[in-house]
Amino acid sequence: MTVLETIQKSTEFLGKKGVESSRLHAELLLAHVLAMPRMKLYLNFERALTAPETDTLRELIKRRGQREPLQHIVGSTSFCGLDMTVNRHALIPRPETEMLAEMGWNFLSTLNSQLSTALDFGTGTGCIAIALAVKCPSAQITALDVSPDALALAKANAERHQVASRMEFLLGDGFAALSTPRLFDLIVSNPPYIASAEIATLDPEVRDFDPRGALDGGTDGLDFYRRLAKQAAAFLKLGGKIMVEFGDGQAPEIKSLFESEKWIVEAVQEDYSHRARILVARR
Ligand SMILES: C[S@@+](CC[C@H](N)C(=O)[O-])C[C@H]1O[C@@H](n2cnc3c(N)ncnc32)[C@H](O)[C@@H]1O
């Protein structure tokens, strides 16, 4: 089959399996197999695939048809322009979270301190922490997670981007991972925020492939915000800020939760679809 025929057949198959943007995913998987940028496929529509190429692609398309995320199949995703290795042990970084990272590095850049410090609570792949370290070359970044496998992945990603020497990786349950009391300029977090009962209703790509521990925010989805609102102030320097991402529709509850713990909410930031998704607060 030619490249064009392969794209058409794969698109049809993925569409039948309920995969959104089936043509795009067919093209991305084929481009991955042929080790060429997706746009180059368009210059090669008449090229015939070899038998090994066809076999490899068939396997990948089958996996995508079983709703395995594209990012797991190709093994990486882009976050703030940085290539992040991804696997089943950590949440696939989402585009919305790039805004949180950007707000974080903008704040760190305004500090005069030689050595600004930030804590990423629930680091997963390390995407936020690594983006902060890359964009703020004198900052020291602490990444913590309760999952040893996620933390190993975060460390590998940090090494890949040559920022591991300015980062530390702490394993443990929330702030208990910090064995000695420490103060940070910034605490960022994209914690698990899905209500436990809602997880079963999510798309298979999320429900079956993101780790449950990265999704489950307790009965109402707000468990981690309660912990952060109660505990985070003790780990912030004077003038320090907390920035947390939350789910669509959670803004009013998160805002009042932080305010009831004496935080001053500075901003509730909307994402590019005009949905409130990030809270910025200080004491
Ligand atoms: C929604 S994911 C976010 C991952 C990453 N920061 C991102 O934005 O893509 C939440 C992360 O919090 C971690 N986590 C869950 N419970 C935790 C706990 N009690 N203490 C520390 N981290 C926890 C999970 O393992 C997961 O990596």
Phi first, then psi: what are they for 92, rounded to 5°?
-70, 125
Does 10 sit in the ligand 1 pocket, CB within 6 Å? Answer: no
180 pLDDT band (50/70/90 cuts)? confident
pLDDT for residue 112: 75
C-alpha count within 13 angstroms, C-beta hemisphere, residue 24: 4
Q: What is the pTM of this model?
A: 0.96
pLDDT for residue 95: 95
For the segment 128-140, the average pLDDT, to the nearest whole number, is: 97
Q: What is the pLDDT of residues 193-203, one digit of tens each?
A: 999 999 999 99
Q: How far apart are CA 1 and CA 178, in angstroms?
A: 57
- Residue 150 CA: which ligand 1 atom is closest? 27
CA angle in degrees (0–180, nearest 5) for 96-101-106: 130
Q: Which of 130, 146, 226 is the best mutation target for the ligand 1 pocket, counting ligand atoms within 8 Å of the beta carbon and taking the most?
A: 146
Counting residues of the chain whose pLDDT is more than 70, the rounded percentage is: 100
Q: How far apart are CA 114 and CA 86, in angstroms?
A: 32
| Distance from chain centroid for Cα 89 | 12
Query: Could you tell me if 30 and 50 are in contact, meaning their C-beta atoms sit under 8 angstroms apart?
Result: no
For the segment 257-262, the average pLDDT, to the nearest whole number, is: 98
78 pLDDT band (50/70/90 cuts)? very high
For the segment 26-55, the average pLDDT, to the nearest whole number, is: 98
Does 174 sit in the ligand 1 pocket, CB within 6 Å? Answer: yes
Of 227, 93, 206, 198, whose CA–CA distance to 153 is shortest? Answer: 93
Sequence-separated (6 or more) residues with CB below 8 Å from residue 113 = 185
pLDDT > 90? residue 179:
no
List the structure tokens of 57. 């692609």
Phi first, then psi: what are they for 281, rounded to 5°?
-145, 160
Q: Which of 145, 186, 225 is the best mutation target for the ligand 1 pocket, counting ligand atoms within 8 Å of the beta carbon and taking the most?
A: 145
Sequence-separated (6 or more) residues with CB below 8 Å from residue 16 = none
List the structure tokens of 245. 């991402």
pLDDT for residue 265: 98
Residue type, 270: E
pLDDT for residue 113: 74
Mean pLDDT, the chain, rounded, equals 97
CATH number for the domain running over 76-282: 3.40.50.150
pLDDT > 90? residue 114:
no
